[in-house]
Amino acid sequence: MATRGAHTLFTPEEYITLERKAMPDAETVRSEYVKGEIIPMSGASFAHNLITGNIQIELGTRLKDSGCSVLANEMRVSSPLTSSYFYPDIVVVCEEPRFEDDVFDTLLNPVVIIEVLSPTTEAYDRGEKFSHYRQLESLKEYIIVSQDKVNVERFGRTGEDWIVTYYQELDQHLLLTSIQCELPLQEIYNRVTFLE
């Protein structure tokens, strides 16, 4: 979850250096990087963390023998064409992962990215962040999951276009065609309580 900070501009190299220095420090807040701006990421709610964990467990179980890896929260993704860096909630990478350099902490070839929406980041995740993700040639599906109601949106790449499919009932299954996987919404929202 990202919130906009001060407008001091940094180079991508400065950003990566700052992030790598901060990694061992548990009290340091992770940040994303867009157009020279470092954007601190705020903490996540209980529902957000529960949904992210549910998805990671379910995807990990379903993909364990597939050659794909499921990574949550800490895997930085680079969008080289836009010189931007993000920490998606969930990333799926298949085949051999490609990294920006030999530190192996910045992934270049995600196939699926999943973001769990927060009130403060919804517009950013739907708009600017998705515009950067769309520049990733490897990305086939972008999934947005609401945390305050049953609502999952799947954006699938078809040539140059992105086609959206909505899932809004707990008895539905999210179809992830790029990785040949289905996720029941009942499992995504397991133990999540919605406010009236």
| CA–CA dist 122, 92 (Å, integer) | 21
155, amino acid identity? F
% of the chain at pLDDT higher than 90: 77
All structural domains of the chain: 45-188 (3.90.1570.10)
pTM of the model: 0.89
Q: How confident is the model at residue 67 (pLDDT cuts 50, 70, 90)?
A: very high
Q: How confident is the model at residue 44 (pLDDT cuts 50, 70, 90)?
A: confident
What is the rounded average pLDDT for all residues in the chain? 91
| CA–CA dist 112, 97 (Å, integer) | 13
Tens digits of residue pLDDT in 77-98:
999 999 999 999 999 999 899 9
Q: Evaluate if residue 6 carries a pLDDT over 70.
A: no
The pLDDT assigned to 40 comes to 85
**Mean local confidence (pLDDT), 157-181:** 97
Please name the helix (run of DSSP H) or strand (run of DSSP E) that holds residue 92, with its range, or none. strand 90-94
b (16+ CB within 10 A) / e for 10-33: eeeeebbeebeeeeeeeeeeebbb
Please name the helix (run of DSSP H) or strand (run of DSSP E) that holds residue 91, with its range, or none. strand 90-94
